[in-house]
Structure 1
C-alpha cells in the first residue's frame, strides 16, 4: 500500500483559536503547486483520504482537490489533530491495508506527520517536513522495512525551477 503523508499548507500564525486557523494565500498557492506537480508527474492515485478536522487541513484538501482527482468521500479523523497519537493512525492504516486499500493520503499537522514518518520509516529520522510537503511511503507489513519513495515540497519545486531557469539562461541567453 502507498501512503501519501501531506502537511497542511502555510497558515496564519496568530489566531485566537488554533482549530480555526486558515491558510494564507501562500498556503493555498503552495498546496495547489504541489497538486499540479503530482498531477504532471502522474505519480499518485489516491483511493482513500484521511484529514484532520482543523480548518487549515480541510482547506489544503480543497486546494489540492481542484488540481487533480481525489475521492469525494473523505474521512475526517480527530486522531489527526496536531497532538494526535500516531499509534492510533498506524492501527487505522493497518485496517485499511487489511481491507485491501491500495493507497491513502493523510493530511495533517506537525508533530503528528513527523511522528508517523519516523515510525513508518525509521531511516528518515529528523527529516524536515515543510508546509504543503508530501512524502510517498511504500508500506510493508513490517514498518521497519517501509521505505520513503519520494518527498516533494514547494521549496524543492522552486529550487528545481530556479536551476532549470538558470540552466536555460546560461545556454540560451549567453551574451558572449
Structure 2
C-alpha cells in the first residue's frame, strides 16, 4: 500500500484564528502543481483521503481533488491538526491499510514530519515545504520512505 502525506498549501496570515487561515493564490497553484505531478503515480483510484478540518487543509483538498484519481472515501479529521498525535494517526492508518491500496493525508507541520517518522522510524522527521508530499510504501506493518518532494523541486508547468 502507498501512503501519501501532504502538507497543505501556503496560507495567508490574516484570519481570526489559526484554524481559519485560507490558502493564498500561490498555495493553490503549488498544490495543484503537486497533484498533477502525483496523478500518474497513483495506480487506479485513491482509496482513502483524510484532510484536516483546518480551512487551509480543507481548501488544499478542494483544489486538488479534481486533479487526482477519484477517491473511494474522503474523511475530514480533527485528529490530524498541527499538533495531532502521530502514533494515534499511524494506528488508524494501519487499520485502514486492510481496506485501501492507497491513502492520502492532507495535514500540517509538525504532524506530517512526525507521521513520516512514526511510519518509517529510520527516516527521521523530515521538514515539508508547503504543498510538499511524501510517499511511503507500507507493507507488513512496516514503512519505507520512497520520496519527499516539494513545489520548488518540480519544473514549473
How far apart, in 2, do the equivalents of 1:3 and 1:126 lie?
16
CA RMSD, aligned part only?
1.6
How far apart, in 1, do the equivalents of 2:101 and 2:119 lie?
16
CA offset digits 1:44-102 (Å, max 9, x no partner): 1421101100110011001111222232741111101111111211111111123x311
Structure 2 alignment gaps of length 5 or more: none
**How far 1:14 moved relative to its partner?**
4.2
Paired residue total: 154
Describe the shift of the 1:84–1:126 C-alpha distance in structure 2 as closer, same or farther (beyond 3 A).
closer
Which residue of structure 1 lines up, in the alignment, with residue 153 of structure 2? 156
How far apart, in 1, do the equivalents of 2:21 and 2:71 lie?
25
Structure index of larger Rg: 1
TM-score normalised by length of structure 2 = 0.90
Structure 1 alignment gaps of length 5 or more: 162-176
Which residue of structure 2 lines up, in the alignment, with residue 132 of structure 1? 131
Contact 2:85 2:111 in 1 (8 A): yes
How far apart, in 2, do the equivalents of 1:81 and 1:139 lie?
22
Structure number having the greater strand percentage: 2
Which residue of structure 2 lines up, in the alignment, with residue 116 of structure 1? 115
How far apart, in 2, do the equivalents of 1:155 and 1:69 lie?
23
Structure number having the greater helix percentage: 1
CA offset digits 1:24-48 (Å, max 9, x no partner): 0000000000011122xx1014211
